[in-house]
Structure 1
Amino acid sequence: MKPYYLCILFITLFISCSDSNDITDGTISNQRIISAIDDSSEAINYANPHDYAGQIHQELLTTYYNADVLPFTLSGIITTATTVANANDSFLSLTKNTPYHFGYVDRVTYIVSQPVGFQDAIINESIQDSDARSSFKTFVTELLHACEEEDNFSVLYDSIVAYEEAVYKDTGLTDHDKQTILITTSITRHGVYARKKKPKKDKDPEWQYMVGNIFAALDGADDSVEDAIMRGLVTGIVENTK
């Protein structure tokens, strides 16, 4: 069981009112958030045995953002995302048709409230092998830099897939570390695709908003596929409503 750093029962996330968003009853117009991506086939890597994690994450992300209005409080985001997940057959196949309960408010709060510093803690908790920890940290750092410089998704895709192949073929890694990393990279790869398709605000792709999504997915992947999907999903949504 991981230590929990904060015990916050409720946190309200404020949205800037400088844009012409319609905010009523805890919801926000969907106009400036990630647009729904109906076809993410470009993001699939069939060589990753855990790629279903990213595909299901993408299904839930698309369904969530297809709503006309969206919640902007953490409790509202969690409720809506969980409702979406529990109505998704692919996700329910992971939970053996048992309704999912999101019990990680403190982990999301911890990640989104820390500007820096949480990455190493989550890597150390989630990945057992020291070399794999270092490799994953380098992968994320280089990927985020590449996302700032590169507009062509296929270039980013090739970079992620190359890392996944190296992890998959590494005979020195435990099955736990391989699964944890490959679940996370699948969610990351599909997340990069979604954000590359996002309408740009003032031509600013805001790649820093991917950090929490990636590390929340890693945090959850250490426990289960469904936790990786849901922690990554909720944290990514929270990041993009700030």
Structure 2
Amino acid sequence: MILSLLIVSCTPDTTDTSDSTNSEINNKKSKKTARYVQSLNSLNPISPENPANMYDLAGKLHNDILDIYLSGNYQYNTIEEISQQIEAIAAENNDLMILNVGTDLPINLDLVQEIINNPQAALDEAIVNSIMTNAAKSSLSSFMNDVLLWENNPYEEIYQSIVTYESAVMTNPEYNGEDKRIILTTSSIVRYSIYYDLIDKDKDWDTSKGHRVGGLSGAIYNSSIAVRRSLVTGIMINNLATE
């Protein structure tokens, strides 16, 4: 009897686990880094500018002054100290004088503390007590709330949402000159500060709701105050977050 020999070939399990490993690594990335990568993959160049906004300079100066402050590596831990340094830097910036139209006031330290303690309440109070028309108040309030919903989006999407809003504001016949100045100053600071947070990755900076509220509350009085108050509020909040 001839016995047939059955040769069984055993193949080792070579299941590729690289996808699983990569997934775990990707899940550990911060939301900010993920949005940064998405921004780099965009076909369009990254820039926070919107020349159509007549108050675009407010956002640009915000980032310029913030650059100088962070480069100084100051170790200030109080609102008063931060305010004094921001005022000193601002005094050396001739372009800031362009925005210094109307009532110019020193930074209200108590108000900055109120914003830090409860940014939503400070936001609501600033808008309600402003000189804006009711239509403008409602619009700006909605915009500030919408910004919170965009936080996880890549910068290009945030940018497009903001400039679309700005275009609608500029062409809205219901808004008077002060309505537009306050809204467009605020939106400019929001647009530039988010850019600084998401794109300038080597900078130790995270934008915050309180930081944006500081800009809005300052814009009600003067576009220059908006820049300075936003910076003082944001820097103090940033310091508290890193302690």
Structure 1 length normalisation: TM-score? 0.72
Counterparts of 2:232 and 2:114 in 1: how far apart (Å)?
Answer: 13
Q: Is the 8 A contact 1:77 1:238 kept in 2?
A: yes
Alignment map for 1:1-242 (pairs within 5 Å): 42-95=47-100, 102-114=106-118, 116-126=120-130, 128-147=132-151, 149-150=152-153, 152-197=154-199, 199=201, 210-242=208-240
Indicate how the Cα distance of structure 1 residues 104 and 65 shifts in structure 2: closer, same or farther if over 3 A, else same.
Answer: same
> 1:26 maps to what in 2?
none
Distance in 1 between the 2:169 and 2:131 partners? Answer: 12
Residue 195 (structure 1) shift: 1.1
Structure 2 residue identity aligned to 1:117: A
Q: What amino acid is the match of 1:156?
A: I
Match of 2:11 in 1: none
In 2, distance between residues paired with 1:177 and 1:93? Answer: 19
Provide structure 1 residue ranges, at least 5 long, that are not aligned to the other structure: 1-40
Q: Are the structure 2 counterparts of residues 178 and 94 from structure 1 closer, same or farther at C-alpha, using a change threshold of 3 Å? A: closer
Shift of the 113–153 alpha-carbon distance from structure 1 to 2, 3 Å rule, reads same
CA distance in 2, matches of 1:70, 1:84: 16
Residues 208-229 of structure 1, C-alpha deviations (whole Å, 9 max, x = no match): x521122211111111111111
Which amino acid in 2 is paired with 1:223? Y
- Deviation at residue 127 of structure 1 after TM alignment: 5.1
Q: 1:102: Cα distance to partner?
A: 2.9
Give the conservation status (yes or no) of the 8 Å contact 1:78–1:102.
no
Gaps of 5+ in 2: 1-45
For residue 116 of structure 1, report the CA deviation from its aligned partner: 3.7
Percentage identity across aligned positions?
Answer: 29
Q: Distance in 2 between matches of 1:163 and 1:187?
A: 14
Inter-CA distance 101–119: structure 2 relative to 1 (3 Å threshold): closer
Native 8 Å contact 2:218 2:225 kept in 1: yes
In 2, Cα distance between equivalents of 1:159 and 1:84? 31
User: In 2, are the aligned partners of 1:184 and 1:228 still within 8 Å (CA)?
Assistant: yes
Matched residue of 2:129: which SS? helix
Could you tell me how far apart the structure 1 residues matched to 2:55 and 2:181 are?
7
Q: Deviations over 1:89-144 (max 9, x none)?
A: 22245459xxx873411111111122542221111122522222222222121211
In structure 2, distance between residues paired with 1:186 and 1:164: 9
CA RMSD of aligned residues (A): 2.4
Q: 3-state DSSP class of the match of 1:71?
A: coil
User: 1:199 deviation in Å?
Assistant: 4.7
Distance 1:54 1:115, change over 3 A: closer
